[in-house]
Amino acid sequence: MTTMPDFGPLEERLGHAFRDRSLLLQALTHRSYLNENTSYEYPHNERLEFLGDAVLELVVTESLYKNYANDEGELTNWRAAMVNAKTLSGIAKELNFEEYLLLSKGEAKDKDTKARMYILANAIEAIIGAIYLDGGMPAAEKFVGSFILSILPRILEEELYVDAKSKFQETAQELLGVTPTYKVLEEKGPDHAKEFTIGVFLDKELIAVGRGTSKQEAQVAAADAGIEAKGWRTHKAKGK
């Protein structure tokens, strides 16, 4: 029989004391763990993730609808920025629950990768699903409000909801009459783990540099850094 971990410290960070701790254990169980532990009696977290994803989207959508008079397109972009894998994995790291994740030996070693980012993001959604089942919508709303809706001001200030390449190009063309170009400055690493360093230029001037595991990702990072370097961030939130 599986021994239940001491979830007390984690529950304190989550802000929810589970009546049924098996739900939390399930939320932290990755599919890969079951492949190596066939006698494990709990299911993996994908069904809870499915539920939590829907709860998260509803809570965020309702909050945006009630609190902002912006149009549907803007609210959709804000929501996407709050619930994407990069944002959720960052919240997971702040909550520091990686030590509780049940992963295969291979997945446990594979840290700081895109795969780990998605595992952490999915675990956040599974935890939301578990909290919803254990404490109902009020408990889920409390968690989402504390850890996800609370980052909206930063998303608006830093324009994390904006497609950086489109924003940089549109602003450069409007203000300077110039279309940005991108150039690979460095490419390193084996084929399965490449890292690209790309510069964004206005005419021949290097404005900023970005890095990523694909050229597209590095270009987006460079454009975002270029927006910051040129001071081209703007946002308008219409409160109700």
Residue 240 has pLDDT above 70, yes or no: no
pLDDT in tens, 111-137: 767 788 999 999 999 999 999 999 999
The verdict on whether 125 is a catalytic residue reads yes
Quick one: the chain helix, strand, coil %, rounded to 5?
Answer: 60, 10, 25
Residue 1 has pLDDT above 70, yes or no: no
The verdict on whether 141 is a catalytic residue reads no
Give me the catalytic one of 107, 125, 159, 224: 125
Give me the catalytic one of 53, 107, 159, 224: 53
What's domain 164-230's architecture? 2-Layer Sandwich (3.30)
The band of 158, judged by pLDDT with boundaries at 50, 70 and 90, is confident
The answer for 78, left when phi > 0, alpha when psi is -120 to 50, beta otherwise, is: alpha
CATH number, domain 8-157, options 1.10.3720.10, 1.10.1520.10, 1.20.210.10, 3.40.50.300:
1.10.1520.10
pLDDT at 2: 67
Residues of the chain with CATH 1.10.1520.10: 8-157
Query: Would you give the distance in Å from CA 6 to the centre of its chain?
Result: 27
pLDDT at 7: 94
Residue 164 has pLDDT above 90, yes or no: no
Residue position matching structure tokens 């830093």 = 158
Residues of the chain with CATH 3.30.160.20: 164-230
> Which stretch of 15-19, 54-58, 160-164, 177-181 has the lowest confidence by average pLDDT?
160-164
pLDDT in tens, 62-116: 999 999 999 999 999 999 999 999 999 999 999 999 989 999 988 877 776 778 8
- What is d(CA 94, CA 107) in angstroms, rounded to the nearest whole number? 20
